Amino acid sequence: MSSGVLLSVEDVVVDLPTPRGNLRAVDHVDLAVGAGRTLGIVGESGCGKTMLSRAILQLLPRKARPSGRVMFDGQDLLRLPAEKLRRLRGRSLAVVFQDPMTSLNPVLTIGTQLIETIREHLELDLAEARQRGVDLLAAVGIPAPEQRLEQYPHQLSGGMRQRVAIAIALSCEPKLLIADEPTTALDVTIQAQILDLLAREQRRRHMAMIIITHDLGVVAGRTDEVAVMYAGRVVERAPTSALFKQMRMPYTEALLAALPKLDAAPHTPLPAISGRPPDPTRPLKGCSFAPRCRYAAGRCNTEKPSLSRAETPGHLYACFHPIETGAGAVA
């Protein structure tokens, strides 16, 4: 692992047995996140981004078969004993899930859940842990934090519940925070507040962060690097500015085209990606995106493209016909 790299995902594969056969949810993925840096992982539902995050956290389904290496702060998480993993999660490695109603315990007060995490990992007494809990709730923008400690999750709005989940994740000053679709269940104005909160806390704590989303608009301006996933593989990876300046993968272009435009006329239909994602239990011989790609031809249907280097440093893409211009000229 090179200097400055906090997390290194190396050739990670996750296979899941199903009644229809083996399902390869993550297919030979390589990623790295530096200390204090932010990585965005983008892709459609079912592309493997959440399963990749669970492989990093070692929260995979019981029958999952992972392989490869996940090096975090010098330790291989795939080979770490269960007790060491338990102590690492929450303390150095934290997560914010998509729906706080499923990650927060509905029968315990906010205070119980927050203070329990603090006392478990930081070994503070009850009074110190309670005061830290109050300070954390205030830091994530929750009014009357002392009162909120006595409330249950169902008594808070969706945005407030997500702020509580973020407070719990930040409670032990983690080195890496994984935010898995943290704004999907929220309305647009609350989404922006939550994303701004995460960005502010990331900068303030010099914490590494991975933002997992299906929306390229979420990662624009909030990440240092973006990895685009499709059918379990990373198909494009680049510094964020380079990706938006000149994306090379047709799938990335299609994701961006599907975003609503502010200057579009009312009721303008959004361009949809034709076709449907491939069946992960029936992998294709060629490029997984070929059946839906307007540039696909010849070898796209018979060979899987490997990641190639673009002219921009750090920019990789997996495509035989990368986009050069708006017309999608062949390289």
- Residue 262's pLDDT is 74
What tens digit of pLDDT does each residue of 113-134 get?
A: 999 989 988 888 999 999 999 9
Q: What pTM, to 2 d.p., does this model score?
A: 0.90
| Residues 205, 209, 215, 219, CA torsion sign | positive
Total structural domains within the chain? 2
Stretches in the chain below the pLDDT threshold 70: 1-3, 325-331
Same domain, 106 and 162: yes
- Residue 272's pLDDT is 80
- Residue 212's pLDDT is 95
User: How close are the terminal C-alpha atoms of the chain, in Å?
Assistant: 33
Same domain, 125 and 247: no
- Residue 4's pLDDT is 84
Domain stops at, among 146, 171, 196: 171
Query: Is 326 contained in some domain?
Result: no
- Residue 327's pLDDT is 36
Same domain, 146 and 255: no
Range of the domain at 300: 5-92+174-259+271-317
- The phi and psi torsions of 291 (rounded to 5 degrees) equal -65, -20
CA distance 148 to 134: 9
Same domain, 12 and 88: yes
- Residue 215's pLDDT is 86
Cα-to-chain-centroid distance, residue 91: 19
Residue with token string 């790295």: 32
Query: Is 323 contained in some domain?
Result: no
Angle, vertex CA 123, rays to CA 120 and CA 126, nearest 5: 90
Same domain, 203 and 276: yes
- Residue 274's pLDDT is 84
Same domain, 164 and 182: no
What tens digit of pLDDT does each residue of 260-271 get?
A: 777 778 878 878
